[in-house]
Amino acid sequence: MQIKSAFSENERVPEKFTCDGDNINPEIEISDVPNNIKSLALIVDDPDSPSGVFAHWIVFNIPPNTRTISRDSVPSNSVQGRNDFGEIRYGGPCPHKGTHRYRFKVFALDKILGLKEGCSGEDIEDEIKGHILDHAILTGNYSRK
């Protein structure tokens, strides 16, 4: 699997997709997805947060034929979890100090997750264990001015 967006691996996330800009999700392109998957899941997180891994966006039960997640949108018929800002939406990069990495992680799953809207990142991570057929990660970085 592969994932592409408005930035390349280890490049700066464009400001419009952060708390300093429009705070909207960038377009995400997904390719080389395995056959016979039941759903996709997307987790955007910051592994450099002082409080531990910080979830910025959680979307699951994304239809298996989805290849593009448009800018400032959620795929039809998918479900969002609650990010660590306490919101059911995308929360862009917004580090308090220094440069942080932001991982856009897509998982191809052999099941549709039995979780409800607003579930936590930990709930998703527990539910997908043993059901990941493939995955892709795109890492960007961002530091505030």
Q: What is the pLDDT of residue 108?
A: 98
Encoding tokens for residue 56? 């910025």
CA dihedral over 52, 53, 56, 58, signed as positive or negative: negative
Largest CA distance in the chain: 45
Tens of pLDDT, residues 104-118: 999 999 999 999 999
Tens of pLDDT, residues 27-84: 999 999 999 999 999 999 999 999 999 999 999 999 999 999 999 999 999 999 999 9
Look-up: residue for tokens 């939406």? 89
pLDDT at 96 over 80: yes
Number of domains making up the chain: 1
> Residue 145: pLDDT band by 50, 70, 90 thresholds?
confident
The domain of 32 spans 2-142
Report the CATH number at residue 96.
3.90.280.10
Spatial contact of 61 and 77, defined as CB atoms under 8 Å apart: yes
